[in-house]
Amino acid sequence: MTDVRPRVSAVLRRFADARGTTLRDIDADLAAFLRVAEDVLLSGGKRVRPTFCYWGWRGAGGPDCDEIVTAAASLEVLHACALVHDDVMDGSELRRGEPSAHRRLARMHRQARLGGDPDTFGHSAAILLGDLFLTWADDLLMASGLTPGALARAWPTYARMRGELVAGQYLDLASQVGPCGRTGGLNPARVARIARYKTAGYTVIRPLQLGALLAGTRPGLLETYAAFGRPLGESFQLRDDILGVFGDPAVTGKPAGDDLRDGPPNALLALALREARPTAAARLRDLVGSPQRPAALEEARALIAASGAPAAAEHLISAHTAQALAVLERSDLDDATRGALMELATAATAWAQ
């Protein structure tokens, strides 16, 4: 499989350098802010979404070229926007093993001995950073060098993807503050619906479709990509949910069990609450979202493990991935694209976002 990730990273480096130079000319005070922006954009990341976009293009008959790599890289900038805002909303301390953007910006405030509250400044500056990434994503796509006709053809899907991402994020947020609390009324079907918009759509389906539309898609291809991406995206989210509770911090880049402390309800937790005995489920509800006490965290993880939820989630991952692979087997995609997407499908279920 052609690995486009180094090329995507090179595009992001050149783009960040150029945009950073332009903004530094406005005022010297922007320099520290832009260093955080560059670090967020360039450090780590699997480049999952750009890779799916690239193969969506190739599957539609598009040739390997720098223009599609540049267009695909815009999805990594959009993803950076989502990560920064998500960390602010969840109060996450780490991202990819480093302090999250709002924590770094708060630290910058303290080190400079600025006035006001450092944490408030960090949150506010991170919101602006996410907004900056959102505008940069649009700019990079439009500056990709693809024809105006190709960009116009793909733009409605790109715009829809952004809207679906925000909708999924809002539903995620609202699920934490409903009338029954963070875990009240939580069920796997609702969590899956939220993940469909927050993760499956903008991680797999829309990137594939965007690539196809940029190339000039053929009949039936968008539907094939949707049928492949929907179950794969659900597998991807389930794997991330498992890693968020039981994952090694060296792999996830986040503290162990971080999702139980600060994160929104997820499918693994929903499965555990459904499968656990009533007394265990009640205790788990009390523990989730509790203060950062190691003993409470370990007890919550033990209750989830004892419920059988991890095994059930692994079964769902296998079933969803098999469903996605079956779509590829039945498709009329060329061998190179089919093989690449099969490889990505297998790898994606083991990746953290």
Burial of 149 (0-12, 13-18, 19+ CB in 10 A): exposed
- What per-residue confidence (pLDDT) applies to 293? 76
Cβ(211)–Cβ(217) under 8 Å? Answer: no
Residues 217 and 139 in one domain: no
Q: Final residue of a domain: which of 146, 175, 210? A: 146
Residues 108 and 3 in one domain: yes
Residues 8 and 142 in one domain: yes
Residues 334 and 231 in one domain: yes
Query: Which of 50, 63, 21 minimizes the C-alpha distance to 216?
Result: 63
Has residue 4 got a pLDDT over 90?
Answer: yes
CATH number of the CATH domain containing 140: 1.10.600.10
Residue 172 domain-assigned (yes or no): no
Cβ(273)–Cβ(186) under 8 Å? Answer: yes
- What per-residue confidence (pLDDT) applies to 10? 97
Residues 141 and 230 in one domain: no
DSSP 77-145: HHHHHHHHHHHHHHT-SEETTEE-HHHHHHHHHHHTT-SS-HHHHHHHHHHHHHHHHHHHHHHHHHTS-
Q: What tokens were used for 13? A: 């480096």
DSSP 145-200: ---HHHHHHHHHHHHHHHHHHHHHHHHHHHTTSSTT-SSTT--HHHHHHHHIIIII
How would you label 133-142 residue by residue, b for 16+ Cβ within 10 Å and e otherwise?
bbebbbebbe
CA distances from 13 to 39, 40, 70, 136, 140 (A): 10, 11, 11, 13, 12
Mean pLDDT to the nearest integer, 181-185:
52
Burial of 181 (0-12, 13-18, 19+ CB in 10 A): middle
- What per-residue confidence (pLDDT) applies to 179? 46
State pLDDT tens for residues 197-250: 777 788 999 999 999 999 998 889 999 999 999 999 989 889 988 988 888 777
Cα 69 off chain centre by: 19
Residue 178 domain-assigned (yes or no): no
Region of 219 on the Ramachandran plot (φ > 0 left; ψ -120 to 50 alpha; else beta): beta
Residues 212 and 135 in one domain: no
Cβ(301)–Cβ(258) under 8 Å? Answer: no
Residue 160 domain-assigned (yes or no): no
Q: Final residue of a domain: which of 146, 169, 187? A: 146
Residue 195 domain-assigned (yes or no): no
Residues 142 and 209 in one domain: no
Residue 182 domain-assigned (yes or no): no
Residues 8 and 133 in one domain: yes
- What per-residue confidence (pLDDT) applies to 67? 98
If one counts the domains in the chain, the total is 2
Residues 115 and 218 in one domain: no
Confidence of residue 126 (pLDDT cuts 50, 70, 90): very high
Q: Which residue type occupies 185?
A: G
- What per-residue confidence (pLDDT) applies to 91? 85
Residues 142 and 205 in one domain: no
Residues 123 and 226 in one domain: no
State pLDDT tens for residues 248-295: 777 777 776 767 766 566 889 889 988 999 999 999 888 886 656 778
Residue 224 domain-assigned (yes or no): yes
Query: Which of 264, 242, 261, 260 minimizes the C-alpha distance to 251?
Result: 242
Mean pLDDT to the nearest integer, 148-156:
98
How many Cβ atoms sit within 10 Å of the Cβ of residue 193? 13
Burial of 129 (0-12, 13-18, 19+ CB in 10 A): buried
> Residue 122: which domain range?
1-146
How would you label 221-255 residue by residue, b for 16+ Cβ within 10 Å and e otherwise?
bbebbbbbbbbbbbbbbbbbbbbbbbbeeeebbbb
Cβ(341)–Cβ(207) under 8 Å? Answer: no
Burial of 111 (0-12, 13-18, 19+ CB in 10 A): exposed
Query: Which of 323, 312, 141 minimizes the C-alpha distance to 230?
Result: 323
Residue matched to tokens 């815009």: 74
Q: Final residue of a domain: which of 130, 146, 162? A: 146
State pLDDT tens for residues 105-115: 999 999 988 89
State pLDDT tens for residues 33-54: 999 999 999 987 889 999 999 9
Lowest pLDDT segment from 94-103, 142-151, 304-313:
94-103
Residues 343 and 211 in one domain: yes
Average pLDDT, the chain: 89
User: Up-side HSE of residue 134: CA atoms within 13 Å toward CB?
Assistant: 17
